[in-house]
Structure 1
Amino acid sequence: MTFRHALATAILALAAGGAQAQDSVIVLGKSSFGARCALCHGDDGKGGGEIAELFRVPPSDLTKLSERNGGAFPFARVYGIIVDGMDEAGHGDSTMPIWGDYFIADALEDRGVKMSDAVEIAAGRVLSLTYYLESIQR
């Protein structure tokens, strides 16, 4: 199963579950953000994480993604960047980690699941992280 298929499945499941499911998804996304993203982007997502000073160009303020996109949250682009990483000047001499691969490996190793299930688990984690980022827009 591809990330695109898993994303479509997750979106349908969220639509069916209503607001309570969305709140749970955002809580999971916030947890993933704190564990994986805050070190660079800061607990508040504004770019001032503990190791931000190590980058030639500081990490982005993730609370302004909508503002930089004309007011609309760039959901698909953000999801894609989390899945595939990012190789742009803003990340200095290194690239943003490819969290899609990490989340798949994590599911395979820690949960002992088969690859198709690991892809779905990873897609769900990326989706929840994207929803969390959408929720912190200013």
Structure 2
Amino acid sequence: MQIRTILTTTVVLLSSSPALAQDNDLTLGQSSYGARCAICHGVDGKGGGEVAELFRIPPTDLTKLAERAGGRFPFVDVYYTLARGIEQPGHGDAEMPVWGDYFVADSLVDRGVSSGDAVAIAAGRLMTLTLYLESIQE
């Protein structure tokens, strides 16, 4: 996947928006979370999803990301993890799926979307998901 393009798109989107998380961004992010993340990380983000017990390394408590990063939500790190995955093996080849590739492929399937537009769509989906995760910090 073209991670550099996705990250560049995100930087442009973030720098052009005075308010990072609008209600619709959080709604879209929450929807993506519910569809793709909750099964492992739990509906509440605390790591107790339906299949959490199947993994050698338990899913991360996503409500504590800011706390573990010294009190500030690690936006870029979270975004990068979603886009590229984690290289430390936990179960199978990666600790979690690489959602950036999935979101690009999902944007292209039977929709007549150009690959460039699919990358931009994926960048937006990853950004709203990251914004949602930022919103659930305790």
| Fold similarity call, TM over 0.5 | yes
Deviations 1:45-89 (CA, angstroms, capped at 9, x unpaired): 000000000001210100000000000000000000000011225
Which residue identity lines up with residue 85 of structure 2 in the other structure?
A: G
SS of match in other structure, 1:50: coil
d(CA) in 2 for partners of 1:27, 1:114: 25
SS in 1 for 2:137: coil
Indicate how the Cα distance of structure 1 residues 116 and 103 shifts in structure 2: closer, same or farther if over 3 A, else same.
same
Q: Distance in 2 between matches of 1:33 and 1:14?
A: 22
Measure how far apart 1:13 and its partner are.
4.4
**Equivalent residues, number:** 134
Verify: 1:14 aligned to 2:21, yes or no: no
1 CA distance for matches of 2:110 and 2:82? 20
Indicate conservation of the 8 Å contact 1:55/1:93, yes or no.
Answer: no
Q: Give the deviation of 1:110 after TM superposition.
A: 4.3
Give the distance between the partners of 1:4 and 1:14, measured in 2 at CA.
Answer: 16
- Of Structure 1 and Structure 2, the greater helix share is in 1
CA distance in 1, matches of 2:135, 2:111: 29
- The 8 Å contact of residues 48 and 59 in structure 1, kept in 2 or not, is answered as yes
CA gap of 1:109–1:40, structure 2 versus 1, over 3 A, is same
C-alpha distance after superposition, 1:84-103 (max 9, x if no partner): 011225x3444211100000
The corresponding residue for 1:3 is 6
Q: Distance in 2 between matches of 1:27 and 1:67?
A: 23
Q: 1:134 to 1:110 in 2, by over 3 A?
A: farther
Amino acid paired to 1:125: R
The match for 2:137 is: 137
TM-score (norm 1): 0.90
What does 1:13-92 align with in structure 2 at a 5 Å threshold? 13-15=16-18, 18=19, 22-89=22-89, 91-92=90-91
Unaligned 5+ segments in structure 2 are: none
Measured after TM superposition, the shift of residue 4 of structure 1 is 1.8
Runs of 4+ in 1 over 6 A off after TM superposition: none
Identity among equivalent positions (%) equals 56
Structure 1: state its 5+ residue gaps: none
